Amino acid sequence: MTSLASWAEAIIAKVGMIKVNLHEMFFETLPAIKIIFELGFIPEEDEIQELSQELYVLYESKGGDISKRLYTIVPKGKNIQTPKNEIGLLTEDDLPKIRKGIAAIRTHAKRAGCVSENSDEILAAAASVIPAVFSENSRFACKEDA
């Protein structure tokens, strides 16, 4: 298992300090990676859908801000458990962050030797090479050696 500090140092060493936007990495990409692990699957583009007009109206009636386009992840063919009457929302500003998180997970899975396109296998492989903080509280959490 890699510590967060050594993982960040390895990224900086690999791509060079000039090319690394630390704000983007720590406040956009890394939180997106954690969210994807908590989802338990890598959403495909067609699973990210804009809210229906009815849901926009309902969300606004509950005090939600609809000044930006809103999206939710609708898993297809996956048995995903969510709390009753809750859906996760993404704004249009969140979509590029989620896509960068997905790309980072795929990159780390390949680094771990994963050549599969299976979401579970990709997440398990990525979890084996990135700091445990990203996969903790997910079914991909790596067990610490005793």
Asked whether the predicted pLDDT for residue 146 surpasses 90, the reply is: no
Residue 5 has pLDDT above 80, yes or no: no
Which tens digits make up the pLDDT trace of 8-17? 666 555 554 4
Q: Which residues contact 117 (CB under 8 A, 6 or more apart)?
A: none
Q: Is 89 a member of any domain? A: yes
> Is the predicted pLDDT of residue 6 greater than 60, yes or no?
yes
User: Considering only CA atoms, which of 2, 3, 37, 8 is closest in space to residue 22?
Assistant: 8
Residue with tokens 């898993």: 75
Q: How far apart are CA 131 and CA 8, in angstroms?
A: 10
Backbone angles phi, psi at 73, to 5 degrees: -100, 120
Q: Is residue 41 part of a domain?
A: yes
List the domain range (segments joined by +) for residue 26.
4-134
- In sequence order, what are the residues at sequence separation of 6 or more whose Cβ sits closer than 8 angstroms to the Cβ of residue 93? 68
Domain annotation covers residue 142: no
Residue 115 lies in a domain: yes
* Residue 119 located in a structural domain: yes
Q: Flag whether 144 is in a domain.
A: no
Domain annotation covers residue 140? no
Q: How far is CA 2 from CA 37, 81, 128, 142, in A?
A: 17, 30, 9, 11
Domain count, the chain: 1
pLDDT in tens, 115-143: 999 999 999 999 999 888 889 888 998 76
- pTM of the full structure: 0.77
In a domain, 141, yes or no: no
Closest C-alpha among 56, 46, 40, 62 to residue 118: 40
How confident is the model over 62-117, as pLDDT tens digits?
999 999 999 998 888 766 665 555 678 899 999 999 999 999 999 999 999 999 99
Residue 28's pLDDT is what? 79
Would you state the pLDDT for residue 142?
Answer: 75
Residue type, 111: R
Q: What is the pLDDT of residues 31-48, one digit of tens each?
A: 899 999 988 999 999 999
